[in-house]
Structure formats: structure tokens, C-alpha cells
Chains A and B, each alone.
Chain A
């Protein structure tokens, strides 16, 4: 399956600060009562964005000046907790195309990569620089270059890191493994044949 090569992502950014932002916060469980991922975008960060009566709480995503942002900035251990793919799906459906955080929870990182959402890591100080520049000028274009592993914004740039297997998948258009997994059919059958509990 030919996938798009994701060499870079450019767009305006918004910072949702904090560490250990869990997937329950990204998409509360009650919104997972669905059999499709469509429509999850409007429930992104719902319980920290909305009051019980549906009116807005103070939250970066409720600030008009950040409308249309496609790059999400955050803190450490972003996406911890549940394995629900509903979390990256909600992020993507909301309109985000990439995430810059100090680091990511393992399952969340893998889920994002499989959906073609690059997750790159940067130091807290560097993320604060991007966040400050974006706060000063929400129209600022932020570019994540996955080949150079660099984020540039308004004449400044910072270094970022990304697990090599993920980076390789994104820049070479093989971030969703399904095609390659299917191609391995013969080798899969050979492995299965060696496992008594599978054959039985």
C-alpha cells in the first residue's frame, strides 16, 4: 500500500501545557460509545474544555486566536494511560497533524505513528521557546522537518528527536505497517507452524 511520505508538517501551533496528560483527558470514555471514529474531534479534551452546561472553560483550544492550529505542543508523558486509539483519532479529527512534547507514552506514540501523526520530542526549554513564540504571534508558522529532525518557527529553530523506526516509516511512506505485514504471509505461516499452541 502506497502511503504518503510525511517529510515535514507545517502549520500554526497551540500549547496545551502540563505533564502526564492521559488519554481519558484527551477523550473521556463516554465518547467511546461508538462504532466509528467519525465525529470524535469535537470531544477532544472535552471535560477540561467544557463546563457541565456545555459552555467553555478556560482552555487553549477555546481561544479563538489558536483556531486552526495543526501542531500540538505539550509536556512530559503525553498520552499516558489507556490504549484507546480514540485519543489520537480525536486529535487528528480535530485537525492536528503533529505533536511536539517532551516525551510520549508508549502505546499512544505507536497509535499516532500508525495514523501518520508524527510525535517528536524536544526539551522542556525548547518547547517553551516555541510556545512563547506562538503565544506572541498565533499566526506564526511552525515547521517540523522530520528529515533534519528540526522545528523551525519565526527565524528560530530547535532540535527534536524521534524513534528511528517511526521516523523511517513516516519519511518513507510506510508508517502504517498493514501492507508489509500482509506481504509476510508465507513467513507468518512458517512461524505459526513452529508454535504448538497455535497449530493445536
Chain B
């Protein structure tokens, strides 16, 4: 009987069985940032413990950094305190820190891959639920809480029960103007906001075979929004080509050995899955959210759900609550919904190809009057790549502000926040109540090109019409 990648990676990293039946799992790569690590270092000190494998923890700063100010001290003393704390902890315990002076700082889930730290057949943990992003490389990557950050620092392991594996195949061809973001929003819509609880998602099929690494990352990133703690794509030539020559990628004979090893982790053709879901790529349209969780999505040409047509009492209550918060009329087209802010960026869609795709279409267009539009590269390296290609100019000429790297308005722990009940067309990953920094702020999730279309029109629009998209 064949095995899935999940089973193979799990077995290779299993240390032993624990008394409660869980597995002590070795975590090969630990990524940390300023928000969920300080308390873990505090616990470590309280217990008198050291970092067990300091060369396997990598730090960066992303959540709290202002994107319009690089010099310190930051205006927000709490943000500065978190920055100082991380710097101190990395120094004291001898950890690699991609600080803002390094030119390599950025959102932790963008930094890992671009440095070549994220590799196939490895286990990765980070105190952030979007750690599933790294699964794009055929790694098993877990979002963890702070006590588990402590566990990984102290032992390079954590206690975990195995997950079931659901293979999600997307076959056929995506229509022009349909992106990786639409694929994952569609998957979450179909399987539900908690449909993935207890599962790792294996994304496969012709669409994923053709996807670039950046597109795979966008999909894996949002696995948790469907309840799946882990999402991955089997490693292939696209993966290996991406990793070749990166700072932490193996070189010489070590590269050849790594390649053999990486290939061996891919799911066997005869692997048995706990569940298989098949989706026809042609059915996926540009998909956006209308509600207050990422499963509350519709295609751009659909109407906002009406509670009276709900299939269950639960669904009706969910629609009522969402529409009351979003102040959207039941049954009306989502197209035409006025926006106040456009946000391009985040660990979901803050990579080079996201800005390239937007720049390609927005050239010659202007952001509508009254819309605040910001573009936030996911890392300093992404920023530099964009600037070399002149994409920042294209965006600023169109009316976007070009910022420095960070999480920014995805969760608004820095100064980038919605005000009052502003509506934001956002390329980020969560539309929870208050997510973007205002307790009444409203978020509509969509692909970067759809954000650009909304910015240009001043309201939610079909990017295929706005930009005359005829080929991808």
C-alpha cells in the first residue's frame, strides 16, 4: 500500500510515542516572529531552559512593523518594545534574525521560501496559523500556539496527534482572469470554514501541476481558513527549480542528494486517502467574500445571499449576522458594492507575481477618487524585485501608495488600519469582524487583480471587464 507525503514526512520525523498517545514529532525548521514568541522565551527563562537547536530557528519581524517608517524608535512604544524583545532574544539565544537592516526582512511565510529555508520533506512550525503556506514545497507545516513555540525552542519537538489526509484535485483549465486566490476561496466555500478540521489538505491535479510556487503558496496559505491546519502540494520540478540557488538551498553533491530525498517524499500513486474531493477548474469564477468568515464567498456575478433562501436555521442565522455587520442588502448583486480602501499585500498575496499581475493590468488606469489604495510588498526582497522592474512606479502612477514590507492591513497590528465602517477590497486572508483594525471595518477578500479592479472603479467589479482580460 502506498503512502501520502504527509505519512512519509510524519514517519521520518516521529521521535516516539508519548504517554497520552500523541507523537513526539521532530520539527526541522522553526520560524518565529515578534508577536507570539516573547512569552515563549519568557517561559524558557522561567524554566531555566536553552534553545535545543539554535541553528534551526529563524526569526523575522512582520506583524507590528510600520510600513511608512523604517527608522527606530517607532511611534508606537509597544511596537518598539516587541521589536527590542525579539532582537534581545535572538541575540541571547544565538538565533538567526532577518532584521530590517538585513535587507531580508519580511512576512515570515515569504521569507522562509525566498531564503530556501522552506524545503520539501521537512517539518516546519511557526506561531502563526498561516504557516500552512510552506506546504507549497511539500513540507508539513504547522501553525502553533506560544506554549508550543516554547516546546520547539526547548526541544525542537512538539506533541501532536496525526491528521487525516484529504486529497483535493482541481483538474482542467482555469478561465482567464481566475487566479490561485479564487481557487482557494472556491475550495473553502465548497468544503466550509471548518470542513478541514482534523485534516491535512493535499492539493493536486492539473491546475496545481501547472501552478508556479507562488500560486501554490497562495492556496496552501489559506488552508486554515477552511479549518485544515496543514495544506501541501507534492514537490516536483517546479519546486526544485524554485529552490535552486537560494541562500539556504543545498549546493553541489548535497543538492543532488537532497533532490533524490525530496522526490522520495512525494505521495505514492497508490497512496490511500481518508477523503478525495474533485473540482472542475472551469467551474471556478473570480470569487470574493460577502460575509464575516472566508467561507462566505460567492462568484463576482452572483448576488448576496438572502437569509430567506437559507437551507438551514444555522445558515440563516449566519447570513443574518454577516449581513448586519457588513451592512449589505440581501439578494443584491455584490458587484457595485462601494469600497473605501484597497489593500494589496499579505502572506497570501504579497509576492512578486502578485504585483506583476496587478501592474500588467493597472497600467494606464487610475485609482478612483476617494479610494485609499496601498500596496505592501511581503518582504524587502519582493520590494526590491518590484522596484527593479519598475512595478512600484506603475502602481504609484495609478494612485497606490508603495510601502515597505510587513503584514500591514491584513491584521492591522501596525498603523495601517481601516477607519469606522470603511469597506476594504483586500488581497489578504481573513474577513473576520474587526480584522483590519476598526471594530466596525468591513473586509471583502479577493485576488490582487480584483482588488485593482475595485480600486479603479471605486466599487467591487469584475476585473475581466475592467481590464479586458482575455488571456492569463
What are the nearest 3 A-B pairs in CB distance? A85-B145, A111-B145, A177-B159
Chain B positions within 8 Å of A, measured between CB atoms, are: 12-16, 18-22, 24, 26, 28, 35-36, 38-39, 42, 47, 49, 52-53, 56, 64, 76, 78-79, 81-82, 85, 119, 122, 127-129, 131, 143-148, 150-151, 154-161, 193-194, 197-198, 224-225, 227, 229, 250, 254, 257-258, 261, 293, 314, 317-318, 321, 411-413, 430, 432-435, 437, 439
Q: How many residues of A contact B (CB 8 A)?
A: 63
Query: Do residues B258 and A184 form an inter-chain contact, with CB atoms below 8 A?
Result: no
Residue pairs across A and B with Cβ atoms less than 8 A apart, 6 shown, are: A33-B64, A163-B161, A180-B159, A182-B154, A192-B26, A194-B12
In the complex, whether A115 has a CB less than 8 A from a CB of chain B is yes
Contact mask for chain A residues 82-117; partner B; CB cutoff 8 A; 1 contact, 0 none:
111110100000000000000101110011001100
Beta-carbon contact of B194 and A188 below 8 Å:
no
Q: Would you give the shortest CB distance from A54 to chain B, in whole angstroms?
A: 12
CB A43 to nearest CB in B, in angstroms, measures 12
Chain A residues, Cβ within 8 Å of B76: 33
In the assembled complex, the Cα of A103 lies from the Cα of B198 at a distance in Å of 11
Q: What A residues does B28 contact at CB under 8 A?
A: 195, 197-198
Minimum Cβ distance to chain B for residue A105 (Å): 7
Interchain CB contact (< 8 A) of A114 among B119, B148, B433, B439: B148
The answer to whether A35 touches B42 (Cβ under 8 A) is yes
Residues of A within 8 A of B (CB): 18-20, 22, 24-25, 28-30, 32-37, 47-48, 52, 76-77, 80-86, 88, 103, 105-107, 110-111, 114-115, 163-166, 168-169, 172, 174, 176-178, 180-182, 184-185, 187-188, 190-192, 194-198, 200
In the complex, chain A residues whose CB is within 8 Å of the CB of B151: 177-178, 181
Bound form: Cα–Cα A105–B430 in Å: 15
Given contacts A20-B318, A76-B194, contact A181 B155 (CB under 8 A): yes
A36 touches B39 (CB 8 A): yes
| A188, B158: Cα distance in complex, Å | 11
The answer to whether B19 touches A174, judged by C-beta atoms less than 8 angstroms apart, is yes
Contact present for A80 and B227 (CB under 8 Å): yes
By a CB distance below 8 angstroms, the chain B residues around A196 are: 254, 257-258, 261
Interchain CB contact under 8 A, A106 and B258: no
From known contacts A33-B76, A81-B430, infer whether A106 and B229 are also in contact, taking CB-CB under 8 Å.
yes
Residues on A with C-beta less than 8 A from B261 are 196
